[in-house]
Amino acid sequence: MNDTLPRAEALVRTLLLRRSGEERLKMGADMFSASRALIAASLREEGLVPGSAEWKLRLLDRTYGSEISPAHRQRLLARWRSESGA
């Protein structure tokens, strides 16, 4: 879905491209950090313990979704559980 007017999209693109590569990279990193903080806050509201294996798994799932293969997801979960002694 794209509900942005082409003129507005072109303006945003022009303004972004006026920034240096370093500024654009920093903007992206800041947006990623902000989204992870929002996800972490929602996990705490669900009662998950920050840093627990289940918390890490849910953070991974919400951040990367289907980009992580089920096999890799299971390997990470097993490692996190063994690290926590669960």
Tell me if 1 is assigned to some domain.
Answer: no
Rounded CA-CA distance 48/45 in Å is 7
Per-residue pLDDT, 1: 78
Tell me if 76 is assigned to some domain.
Answer: yes
Give this prediction's pTM.
Answer: 0.75
Tell me if 41 is assigned to some domain.
Answer: yes
Per-residue pLDDT, 86: 60
Q: In degrees to the nearest 10, what's the CA dihedral of 7, 12, 15, 19?
A: -150
Rounded CA-CA distance 61/1 in Å is 23
Q: Look at the chain and report how many structural domains it folds into.
A: 1
Q: Which domain holds residue 74?
A: 6-84
Tell me if 13 is assigned to some domain.
Answer: yes
Instruction: Profile the chain (86 residues) by mean pLDDT over runs of 10 residues.
Output: 91 96 97 96 93 94 94 95 82
